[in-house]
Amino acid sequence: MGLCYSRNTSSVKDDEIPVEQPSQTPRLASIPQSPVPSEVNSYASSPFQSPLPAGVAPSPARTPGRKFKWPFPPPSPAKPIMAALRRRRGAPPRPRDEPIPEDSEDVDGVGGERLDKNFGFGKNMEGKYEMGKEVGRGHFGHTCWAKAKKGKMKGQTVAVKIISKAKMTSALSIEDVRREVKLLKALSGHKHMVKFYDVYEDNDNVYVVMELCEGGELLDRILARGGKYPEVDAKRILVQILSATAFFHLQGVVHRDLKPENFLFTSRNEDAVLKVIDFGLSDFIRYDQRLNDVVGSAYYVAPEVLHRSYSTEADMWSIGVISYILLCGSRPFYGRTESAIFRCVLRANPNFEDMPWPSISPTGKDFVKRLLNKDHRKRMTAAQALAHPWLRDENPGLLLDFSVYKLVRSYIRASPFRRSALKALAKAIPDEELVFLKAQFMLLDPKDGGLSLNNFTTALTRYATDAMMESKLPDILNTMQPLVQKKLDFEEFCAAGVSVYQLEALEEWEQIATSAFEHFEQEGNRVISVQELAGILFSSLPTKLPPRSDPLSPKKLSCSSPFTASLSVSSIGRLTNSRRKLSEVKSMSTEKALVVCGSGKAEAVEAALKKTGDCEWTSPVLLFGFVGSGSGADASIGVNYGTLANNLPPPRQVAEFLLHSTVINRIRLFNADPQILQAFAHTGVAVTVTISNDQIPHLTNLSFAQRWISDHIQPHFPSTNIIRILVGNEVISTANHLLIRNLVPAMQSLHTALVSASLHRRIQISTPHSLGILSHTTPPSSARFRQGYDTHVLKPLLSFLRTIASPFVVNPYPFFGYSPETLDFALFRTNPGLFDQDTKLHYTNMFDAQLDSVYSAMERLGFSDVAIVVGEIGWPSKGDKDQIGVDVATAAEFNRKVMDRVNSGTGTPLMPNRTFETYIFALFNENLKPGPVSERNFGLFRSDLIPVYDIGILRPTVRASDPPENNRRSPVGGSSGKRWCVTKSGAETEALQRNIDYVCGLGLDCEPIIEGGPCFLPNTVEAHSAYAMNLFYQTMGRHEFDCDFDKTGEITSIDPSYGDCQYQAEFV
């Protein structure tokens, strides 16, 4: 049963428009079972060279043995290579004694246990349907014609997708089938979605009964028309594609494989209805979630998919590719290999100059360009695309757009400044662009001309399906509670629903921004006065500004050159030259507004930035940006929570402290301590747990792995947000043959246990490595993994990580790689840097060089697409006597700069524009750690929760308030009623030098920071500037605005004094 008549499938010629099929890659190894040794702590000698110097012991669950010389980096373009089949097949191998082979066959499960392939579907497929010939074939199954024998559908022809159970070689592939059936059932009913009728199974196959579409694929129609469509026909096709896409996006479903082959016509008629099919790679996605597994078809994959961070916008890119093909008959991105296609997608721009594009209408060309924008934030949604002027004549039925919910949510939680800025921009939007917002406003069914929370709730409920419930999209309503008391009229709805990113993609952006500028500029002199801005934004502001002794304080914001002006309640009008593009200025702290003035022309801006003094601009551009949080760590920054101490506070107190007093929302544990996991329940903090090295051999047994998940994870998940399990710690550095040999099998077995518990989509598996896994490191492009470990351990490991979409975790420590000569290189200070002759890239800091070294080594093995996570990085605040570069100020400097570097999004020379999930080592100073003094002093906090120093992770309310009563005894932890002015994290060195020159030029006592003075060391601009800025702040009366210093200063209650260097402070 289940077989149907096959047909001959014709191959597509090279000059047609075929989609290159993903190449098959070897599956993960299956290895015969070997008994688990009883002596799990037995350190057998390794057949490979140890990555650590002789006499250096491996470090278990503690700061790793970091013996790595400073020169390290590597190169390579982003070559994300992974297609659908690669990630969905293969089962974890069993432990073995011999080296891990690179190629082998899949096995059915792990440890000899068979997978449960019983889905609980109906069993009588043969009795209800008569099977016919094969009508289609895909990656995961084939489709046959069939006719119903009885029941309501008797005599009706249908399509039956047959999925062989023999191909379900892992629990993951079984889960994929369940999800596809669930999706088809939930989405069935929309005009352009293929209808789902029923699902059956027998011992050999799963049978999905669907609507039979006899008109063939969209690809066949394109080829039959000579490779392209006339505009009028292309519009009719795209309206149908967008209608279906807008529907399933509203349900929280991302298709991930939209291409002409996955659209079928219901009949051979020219006006036949088009339907979307094949949800085998589709997934549910929450409104605040981004996916990271690379799936889809090479020619249609979006750039952000290759960067492993994407949402529904990836489908819109695929539709953009389809649009391009429909209109011009060729692909926008081409390559002979998959990796070449990916490079083209990432680096090349579509050609809109050659024929037939000059003959395509301007609106048609604009439509395609707005879908193929590499910045996913500027891309149109499906609902927006339906409202585009090019499609308006087709009278497309508009659908509610969930992106409006996210924008409104952001608007009602924003500052008064941002809301005022958005209102100004909304008033300047052209009428054509308002069509979409008008339609969305009406779809929300306003009452008495306004929208309340009830309108948003009712509208979402109207469109809800089981898919929407699975994606948990209605949860966003819980974050929109201010609308219970407030209504949005149409004008304010436009302000809330406008996307600044999408406005920037419009050709009219400069005119829109200029018009918004004029909303604030009321005197007609092309200059915004502080009083004008304050009158609009802060009605409670005094009209008379407080007197300032600072000569930089202006009365008006004039367009003398492109600048940013910082405006706050206490400090208004301080000017700061900026080299940011106008459209990139996006973040300010809670009470601050941002005004940018300039010509809007890149060339003019560059010229003006080279000038000093005044110049005049007659076409100002106003741009507003605001982020509600003040200074602090980004979501990419976490902290390692080590417990090798006898004086640490209880876990619940630690959890409450991190949650309420810091902005840290990620922690990494070196165990799976149930008390800690329970303490972090319902906090939302993302938790990574670690399994100790001695458990690795046992984990190769599936039953043991399942028990471990059952005992340590399931009692706490999902109340505790466990996101990742790390198997061991720096296992390769132990040089233990037993542990190294069983590392990958243990990880695979643990992943299978997660799949069995249906936790594999929520919890990742990985293992951290020291940089001792590298051999050649200088120049960065020459970096490679140590011989022996590369092919036998790291290649299978990286292949497995790619398959399950998990990151490669490394522990780079510049602290263990610097010398006195390279200290500035390690600390991100001004230094000659490191030049890579092979790539012609220049490295200005050791952190970038280390990460690029790892990347180069991965690239040599063909795994440059696997994401990198920084598992540990830090700098001690105390070391052995006379140890250079080890003190509180240097530790604070290093960790602040790491945080700034990671959060900047600039990436590294070889990995540009990337943000790395990074965990600072460590949360506490741990007094029981062995080794030198520095090992016990990596902590950001002492055991009594008093900061050793602040790197910007304390919440502003904590930073500005008195420390707890029981914490006042510390000379560095804070003194009741005292305040200091210090440099803000991320401040530019040039600006800090100007601060020193200004303060010391006033005649204030700067002797302590002159050579020989108590505050001369560390001899850095940052440290000297902090002393000078505090001196000015204390001398001038400790007003908040006296610590502004062009936005480079901030007030703290934590005493920055150290050693003999005492910072002046008085009670306030």
Question: 661-691, pLDDT tens digit by residue?
Answer: 887 889 999 999 999 999 998 887 889 999 9
Q: Could you give the CA distance from residue 394 to residue 398 in angstroms, rounded to a whole number?
A: 11
Q: Could you give the CA distance from residue 807 to residue 812 in angstroms, rounded to a whole number?
A: 15
CB neighbours of 387 closer than 8 A, spacing ≥ 6? 396, 398, 435, 436, 439
Question: Do residue 682 and residue 742 come from a single domain?
Answer: yes
pLDDT over 70 (residue 535): no
Q: Could you give the CA distance from residue 1026 to residue 1049 in angstroms, rounded to a whole number?
A: 8
Q: Could you give the CA distance from residue 320 to residue 365 in angstroms, rounded to a whole number?
A: 11
- Least trusted range by pLDDT, from 29-43, 329-343, 681-695, 831-845: 29-43
CATH of the domain at 688: 3.20.20.80
Cβ atoms of 443 and 651 closer than 8 Å: no
Number of Cβ within a 10 Å radius of residue 635: 13
**Rg over CA atoms, the chain:** 31
Q: pLDDT tens-digit profile of 919-963? A: 999 999 999 999 899 999 999 999 888 899 988 888 654 443 333
Q: Could you give the CA distance from residue 279 to residue 288 in angstroms, rounded to a whole number?
A: 22
- Least trusted range by pLDDT, from 153-162, 764-773, 906-915: 906-915
Question: What mean pLDDT, rounded, does the chain reach?
Answer: 77
Provide the sign of the torsion angle of the four alpha carbons 758, 918, 91, 78, taken in this order: positive
Question: Do residue 325 and residue 378 come from a single domain?
Answer: yes
Cβ atoms of 42 and 119 closer than 8 Å: no
**Would you say residue 160 lies in a domain?**
yes
Cβ atoms of 753 and 812 closer than 8 Å: no
152: confidence class by pLDDT, cuts 50, 70, 90: confident
**Would you say residue 47 lies in a domain?**
no
User: Across the strands, what pairs with 38?
Assistant: none
Domain that holds residue 994: 964-1052
Question: Do residue 664 and residue 699 come from a single domain?
Answer: yes
Q: 3-class secondary structure for 73-138?
A: CCCCCCCCCCCHHHHCCCCCCCCCCCCCCCCCCCCCCCCCCCCCCCCCCECCHHHHEEEEEEEEEC
Q: pLDDT tens-digit profile of 494-518? A: 999 988 888 888 888 888 888 877 7
Domain stop point among 163, 182, 211 = 211
Does residue 912 have a cis bond before it (omega within 30 degrees)?
no
pLDDT over 90 (residue 973): no
Question: Do residue 944 and residue 973 come from a single domain?
Answer: no
Element (DSSP H or E) covering residue 233: helix 231-250
Question: Do residue 726 and residue 791 come from a single domain?
Answer: yes
Give the per-residue pLDDT at 100.
Answer: 31
Does residue 1018 have a cis bond before it (omega within 30 degrees)?
yes
Q: Could you give the CA distance from residue 20 to residue 641 in angstroms, rounded to a whole number?
A: 47
Report the b/e string of 399-413 with b at 16+ CB within 10 A. bbbbbbbbbbbebbe
Q: pLDDT tens-digit profile of 292-310? A: 777 889 999 999 888 777 8
Q: How many domains does the chain have?
A: 4
User: Across the strands, what pairs with 134?
Assistant: 144
Can you count the helices (H) and strands (E) in the chain? 33, 29
Number of Cβ within a 10 Å radius of residue 996: 18
Cβ atoms of 54 and 39 closer than 8 Å: no
CB neighbours of 45 closer than 8 A, spacing ≥ 6? 735, 737
pTM of the model: 0.56
Please list the helix, strand and coil fractions of the chain in percent, rounded to the nearest 5, in that order: 35, 15, 50
Give the per-residue pLDDT at 533.
Answer: 56
Mean pLDDT of 371-400: 90
Mapping DSSP to helix (H, G, I), strand (E, B) and coil, where does residue 198 land? strand
Mean pLDDT of 444-452: 91
Give the per-residue pLDDT at 258.
Answer: 95
Q: Could you give the CA distance from residue 709 to residue 703 in angstroms, rounded to a whole number?
A: 10
CB neighbours of 944 closer than 8 A, spacing ≥ 6? 649, 966, 967, 970, 973
Question: Do residue 140 and residue 259 come from a single domain?
Answer: no
- Least trusted range by pLDDT, from 473-487, 809-823, 971-985: 971-985
Q: Could you give the CA distance from residue 418 to residue 424 in angstroms, rounded to a whole number?
A: 10
Give the per-residue pLDDT at 680.
Answer: 93
Q: What is the DSSP letter of 465?
A: -
Give the per-residue pLDDT at 824.
Answer: 95
Give the per-residue pLDDT at 770.
Answer: 95
Query: Edge-to-edge strands of the sheet including 563-567?
Result: 572-577, 563-567, 593-597
Q: Could you give the CA distance from residue 502 to residue 380 in angstroms, rounded to a whole number?
A: 7
Distance, CA of 397 to chain centre: 33
Cβ atoms of 528 and 424 closer than 8 Å: no
Mean pLDDT of 139-154: 86
Side-chain-side CA neighbours of 738 within 13 Å: the count stands at: 18
Q: Choose the most confident range, by mean pLDDT, from 9-23, 45-59, 219-233.
A: 219-233
161 is in an annotated binding site: yes
Number of Cβ within a 10 Å radius of residue 854: 28
Q: Could you give the CA distance from residue 458 to residue 466 in angstroms, rounded to a whole number?
A: 16
Question: Do residue 897 and residue 800 come from a single domain?
Answer: yes
Give the per-residue pLDDT at 527.
Answer: 58
**Would you say residue 460 lies in a domain?**
no
Structure-token pair, residue 306? 């290759």
**Would you say residue 705 lies in a domain?**
yes
pLDDT over 80 (residue 878): yes
Does residue 356 have a cis bond before it (omega within 30 degrees)?
yes
Structure-token pair, residue 930? 């062995």
pLDDT over 60 (residue 183): yes
Q: Could you give the CA distance from residue 635 to residue 1013 in angstroms, rounded to a whole number?
A: 40
Question: Do residue 935 and residue 974 come from a single domain?
Answer: no
Question: Do residue 951 and residue 974 come from a single domain?
Answer: no
Q: β-strand 563-567 against 834-836: which pairing, if any?
A: unpaired
The one-letter code for the residue type at 857 is A
Cβ atoms of 982 and 631 closer than 8 Å: no
pLDDT over 70 (residue 575): no
**Would you say residue 62 lies in a domain?**
no
Q: pLDDT tens-digit profile of 708-728? A: 999 999 999 888 989 999 999
CATH of the domain at 137: 3.30.200.20
Question: Do residue 352 and residue 313 come from a single domain?
Answer: yes
pLDDT over 50 (residue 110): no
Provide the sign of the torsion angle of the four alpha carbons 402, 406, 407, 411, taken in this order: positive
Provide the sign of the torsion angle of the four alpha carbons 356, 357, 362, 366, taken in this order: positive
Question: Do residue 196 and residue 338 come from a single domain?
Answer: no
Mapping DSSP to helix (H, G, I), strand (E, B) and coil, where does residue 624 land? coil
CATH of the domain at 252: 1.10.510.10
pLDDT over 60 (residue 610): no
Number of Cβ within a 10 Å radius of residue 1044: 27
Mean pLDDT of 573-582: 28
Q: pLDDT tens-digit profile of 885-905? A: 999 999 999 999 998 888 777
**Would you say residue 915 lies in a domain?**
yes
Structure-token pair, residue 971? 């000379």
Residue 256 vs residues 11, 191, 292, 482: alpha-carbon distances, Å: 24, 20, 12, 35
Mapping DSSP to helix (H, G, I), strand (E, B) and coil, where does residue 57 land? coil
**Would you say residue 1025 lies in a domain?**
yes
Cβ atoms of 235 and 394 closer than 8 Å: yes
1060: confidence class by pLDDT, cuts 50, 70, 90: confident
336: confidence class by pLDDT, cuts 50, 70, 90: confident
Query: Edge-to-edge strands of the sheet including 157-164?
Result: 129-137, 142-148, 157-164, 205-211, 196-201
CB neighbours of 403 closer than 8 A, spacing ≥ 6? 381, 383, 384, 499
Q: β-strand 686-691 against 1049-1052: which pairing, if any?
A: unpaired
Give the per-residue pLDDT at 159.
Answer: 93
Cβ atoms of 209 and 130 closer than 8 Å: no
Give the per-residue pLDDT at 205.
Answer: 92
**Would you say residue 151 lies in a domain?**
yes
Q: Could you give the CA distance from residue 987 to residue 997 in angstroms, rounded to a whole number?
A: 16
Cβ atoms of 124 and 200 closer than 8 Å: yes
Residue 40 vs residues 37, 43, 60, 697: alpha-carbon distances, Å: 6, 8, 14, 7
Number of Cβ within a 10 Å radius of residue 268: 10
Q: Where is pLDDT greater, at 340 or 395?
A: 340
Mapping DSSP to helix (H, G, I), strand (E, B) and coil, where does residue 1013 land? coil
Question: Do residue 166 and residue 237 come from a single domain?
Answer: no
Does residue 838 come out as left (phi exceeding 0), alpha (psi in the -120 to 50 range) or beta? alpha
- Residues that are catalytic: 257
pLDDT over 60 (residue 541): no
Cβ atoms of 769 and 729 closer than 8 Å: no
Domain stop point among 159, 181, 211 = 211
Q: Where are the alpha helices (DSSP H) in 381-415?
A: 382-386, 402-412
Mean pLDDT of 236-259: 95
Q: Where are the alpha helices (DSSP H) in 921-988?
A: 956-959
Q: pLDDT tens-digit profile of 56-88? A: 333 333 333 332 222 322 222 222 223 333 333
Element (DSSP H or E) covering residue 209: strand 205-211
The gap between the terminal CA atoms of the chain, to the nearest Å, is 86
Domain stop point among 364, 398, 432 = 398
